[in-house]
Amino acid sequence: MTRDDCLAPPAPREERLLWLSLRWLARAVVAAVFVYAGGVKVLNPALFVADIESFHMLPSAAALFVAFFLPWLEIIAGLALLIPSLRWSAGMILLALLLAFMVGIGQAMVRGIDISCGCFGGDGSATAPIPLLLRDVALIVGTLIAMGPLRRQRKTMERPPLDVTSRPIQLNS
């Protein structure tokens, strides 16, 4: 008996194909978004520094560090989402990044600060916080789908009760 015999009975083929396609689609979209966003920021760090400073959350030195570190982290984590053995780690990092972005946007909204989100390298346009938050929520959902289930659910089989009566009784003669 193999380990696969212990797994839950497989879903119908169409359903499995649908989920598989959905997960790969989510992986491709989320990875593309983060690789693009990171790439644009890598090309123009000066603009991204200004965008981070517009949030009024970090001192200048920290903003400078984030402006050079974060874009590469986005690129690496976005690509790692496509590698099975790194998928969960990458997914957790992307979720943490998205939550951090949401905290930044939320505090700017509460404090009434005019921010430039800098999400895609600072395109110079004023950015309204609500659409930004909705976009982050959509990316969180996409990342969760891309990560897939934590582990396959296992089904343990019951040992059948002993049928004593059907056994022949052998007596030593």
Partner 1 sequence: MYQYCVVTKNRSKGPWRAGRVSVPALILIFCFIPLLGGVINALVNPNAPWHRVVPPVEGEVDLAWVAAQPQPVLFVDARSEEEFSRGHIDGAVSLPLDSLDSAIIDFLDRWQPGEPIVVYCGSPSCGLSTNLANLLRDQYGLDNVWVLRGGFDEWRRANQ
Closer by beta carbon to partner 1, 81 or else 139: 81
Closest by CA position to 48, among listed 69, 29, 32, 28: 69
State yes or no: residue 54 binds partner 1 (CB under 8 A). Answer: yes
State yes or no: residue 126 binds partner 1 (CB under 8 A). Answer: yes
Segment interacting with partner 1, rule: CB under 8 A, options 25-33, 106-114, 133-141, 165-173: 106-114
Structure tokens at 51: 């965008």
Structure tokens at 32: 């593309």
Q: Which residues between 67 and 96 bind partner 1 (CB under 8 A)?
A: 68-73, 75-77, 80, 85-86, 88-90, 93
Structure tokens at 47: 């603009």
The amino acid present at 56, given as its one-letter code, is H
- Least distance in angstroms from the C-beta of 138 to partner 1: 23
Structure tokens at 13: 């083929």
Cα distances from 159 to residues 9, 156, 162, 163, 167, in angstroms, run: 18, 9, 9, 12, 17
Segment interacting with partner 1, rule: CB under 8 A, options 15-23, 97-105, 134-142, 152-160: 152-160
Closest by CA position to 51, among listed 72, 30, 66, 33: 66
- Least distance in angstroms from the C-beta of 35 to partner 1: 13
CA dist., res. 147 & res. 88, Å (int): 6
Q: Which residues between 1 and 30 bind partner 1 (CB under 8 A)?
A: 1, 3, 5-6
Q: Give the footprint of partner 1 on this chain (CB under 8 A).
A: 1, 3, 5-6, 42-47, 49-51, 53-54, 64-65, 68-73, 75-77, 80, 85-86, 88-90, 93, 111-116, 118, 122, 124-127, 154-157, 159-160
